[in-house]
Amino acid sequence: MLQVNNIKENKEEFIKGLKKRNFEAESILEEVLQLDEKRRATQVKLDDILAESNRLSKEIGMMFKNGEHQKANLIKEKTGNLKEDSKALSEELSETILKLETLLYTIPNVPHESVPAGTSEDDNEEIFKEGDVPVLAEGSLPHWELAKKYDIIDFELGNKVTGAGFPVYKGKGARLQRALITYFLDKAIDAGYTEYQLPLMINEASGLGTGQLPDKEGQMYHVTADDLYMIPTAEVPMTNMYRDRLLTDKDFPIACTGYTPCFRREAGSYGAHVRGLNRLHQFDKVELVRIEKPEDSYAALDNMVEHIKDILADLKLPYRILRLCGGDLGFTAALTYDFEVFSTAQDRWLEISSVSNFETFQANRLKLRYKNKEGKKELVHTLNGSALALPRVLAGILENYQTEDGIKVPDVLVPYTGFDLID
């Protein structure tokens, strides 16, 4: 959520920045400022009335004490009118604040100056590429056929037990999945991240805090009886651990990691591009979350990018990094880098990670601040990244490492799997 004071001070810059998202902001930002002005004016009136009411109450007490009962009763009638006025102003103030917050929730984050304008993923900028795409033998298979051939993932069984998009991993497939999770966590811990095991459901306040609500409500599984939501990513509970916190210098840097299953309805996702592991309703992911002072956040973002590059170099998977354009940027992000691995058998790039800096956008909702050296309270910057989401990493390994004898296991994973070939 944008800060009203920042909107007031940087209105024209915000209008220009939000145009990169194809979001026409001028009228809505003006409405925000008008509502904020009304809120301030109403608050002043209410404060004046409450102050007058308190002053008269003290006078009445003194009059009764001095035996001036008739005079006290006359003033008492006036305090009754003031109470009616204060009640009406309190209701008006609450209504104005609600309108203001509701409006602010509809405005996306302002993109970083480096974000290119654009309307879709076609306008994203490739900024890095590494690894040679392997030349596969004739008759090489996509991962969903390899999974069936080697009996390591059962999509039909998952459909029977739950529904489409809930695969069952088995045998060496389950062990490879577990190996990837442990390897990703070990890499994060070695890099200084603290591991957490997190709840798989969140309340509404947590969804609002990190921006999943109300923006992505339709993509989340809602447990209506308890008004809880299945997490779409570990980012949500992990970042919300710090909701309503006031940090100090000694708390930084904050670097968290955690493995969780993730749940997404993926409504409206159909077609060949969602086959197999390409798009699921339940999938595993190791997440990174950083909370930084504003002056340190972009160095932290670069550090997260290098961390993921190091993992992909270990796995020897061909990949590229994209800087997302305004039209493809997530609602809460100021800057996002997407990592994509090349799926050789499908002859296409598959997204495996997004690394984002949200600047103060989430922190404003979370009421997450720190006390700087001058003793002033300031909003922090929040960041997160997948390191990594497993389904498409696994798809890339199965397809790029397939041979006539079976599927080789990347060398870095062999100590975790206990085997070097799926056959």
Cα-based distances in Å from 23 to 36, 114, 244, 250, 329: 21, 17, 30, 39, 12
DSSP β-bridge partners for residue 201: 230
124 marked among binding-site residues = no
Cis check: omega of the bond before 89, within 30 degrees of 0: no
Phi, psi of 309 (to 5 degrees): -60, -40
264 marked among binding-site residues = yes
354 marked among binding-site residues = yes
265 marked among binding-site residues = yes
Whether the Cβ atoms of residue 381 and residue 360 lie closer than 8 Å to each other: yes
77 marked among binding-site residues = no
356 marked among binding-site residues = no
| CA pair distance 147, 138, nearest whole angstrom | 18
Query: What is the helix (H) or strand (E) element at residue 389, kind and residue range?
Result: strand 381-389
40 marked among binding-site residues = no
Residues 309, 314, 317, 323: what is their CA dihedral angle, to the nearest 10 degrees? 0
Matching residue, tokens 């970083």: 112
Question: Can you say how many angstroms the Cα of residue 198 is from the centroid of all Cα atoms in its chain?
Answer: 15
353 marked among binding-site residues = yes
351 marked among binding-site residues = yes
119 marked among binding-site residues = no
Residues tagged in the binding site annotation for L-serine: 233, 264, 287, 384
Residues tagged in the binding site annotation for ATP: 264-266, 351-354
Residues tagged in the binding site annotation: 233, 264-266, 287, 351-354, 384
